[in-house]
Amino acid sequence: MTSLLAVLLSLPIVLMYHRVDVTAPSDRISQSLTISPDQFTAELQYLRDRHLRTMSVAELEADVRSGQSPSNAVLLTFDDGYDDQYQYAFPILRRFGDVATFFVNVGSVGKPRHMTWQQIATMAQEGMSFGCHGVTHSDLAVMGVAAQEYQIERCVDVLSAQLHDNVIAYAYPSGAFDERTVRLEQQAGLLLGFTTDPRFQRDADSLYELTRRRVKNGMTTADFASLLAPPPSIKIRASPRR
Ligand SMILES: [Zn+2]
């Protein structure tokens, strides 16, 4: 029998990106979510200079499962599956030898301005990770249980079939979820859930309520550095690594 120990874990800093593009959209919200390729390059350079490595969700999950705290690690995440992530973010990540996790809405793949399955497959082959962001970009907390189940299970089924791999992570559109969400995620085989900021957290020790820090357009190096303060440790039950 595996013994379960309560362990205090330091988690990696999780950064949340949306778009990386040479031209920022005209509306104010999309503009704040779109950073330039130069800004993204400078941020990866900053992580490298600080000896912070980027890790995948699978590495994080393996560490957590064995009660190990990832050290000097950052998890880079991208939401919404825009094609500029393939066009601009992916080549920069490759140049630095970094990895990121991309949360996609399976219903938007191949639609205008969004990545195609072929682009997603190419990125996965090059070491990028993918997670679910729903079928549509819809707030789970206002749905009935059947609608939530559809968003979660359908996204996991489609994405895992396309990737020929397990999907272990989910990011909630707009950060919102409720008590039913976590049960449905466990049922779908998901192991990690990401919200946006701590406003949405009900249980700070839950691996289904991991918070992220938003990277915005025009952040200076000092602004970016302030996002990298270590997050509080969480208490989990883990089986020790042999
Ligand atoms: Zn989103």
Rounded distance, CA 15 to CA 212, Å?
5
Global pTM exceeds 0.75: yes
Q: 62: how many CB neighbours lie within 10 A of its CB?
A: 14
Quote the ligand 1 centre to 103 CA distance (angstroms).
8
With cut-offs at 50, 70 and 90, classify the pLDDT of residue 6: confident
With cut-offs at 50, 70 and 90, classify the pLDDT of residue 107: very high
Q: Mark 209-242 as b/e (b = at least 16 C-beta within 10 Å).
A: bbbbbebbeebeeeebeebbeebeebebebeeee
Q: Mark 33-43 as b/e (b = at least 16 C-beta within 10 Å).
A: bbbbbebbeeb
Write down the domain spans for the chain. Answer: 11-229
* Per-residue pLDDT at 240: 57
For the domain bounded by 11-229, which CATH number is listed? 3.20.20.370
With cut-offs at 50, 70 and 90, classify the pLDDT of residue 239: low
Please tell me which residue, 7 or 74, carries the higher pLDDT value: 74
Check: CB of residue 172 under 8 Å from CB of residue 140: yes
With cut-offs at 50, 70 and 90, classify the pLDDT of residue 237: confident
Give the residue among 68, 61, 55 at the shortest CA–CA distance from 15. Answer: 55
Quote the ligand 1 centre to 40 CA distance (angstroms).
19
Quote the ligand 1 centre to 193 CA distance (angstroms).
14
Quote the ligand 1 centre to 197 CA distance (angstroms).
13
Quote the ligand 1 centre to 77 CA distance (angstroms).
11
Quote the ligand 1 centre to 229 CA distance (angstroms).
24
* Per-residue pLDDT at 242: 47
Quote the ligand 1 centre to 4 CA distance (angstroms).
35
Tens of pLDDT, residue by residue over 126-164, are 999 999 999 999 999 999 999 999 999 999 999 999 999
Grouping H, G, I as helix, E, B as strand and the rest as coil, residue 117 is helix
* Per-residue pLDDT at 2: 55
Query: Quick one: which H or E segment has residue 104?
Result: strand 101-104
Q: Is 143 exposed, middle or buried (0-12, 13-18, 19+ CB in 10 A)?
A: middle
Q: Is 29's pLDDT higher than 90?
A: no
Average pLDDT over the chain, rounded to an integer: 94
Residue 240's region, left for phi above 0, alpha for psi from -120 to 50, else beta, is beta
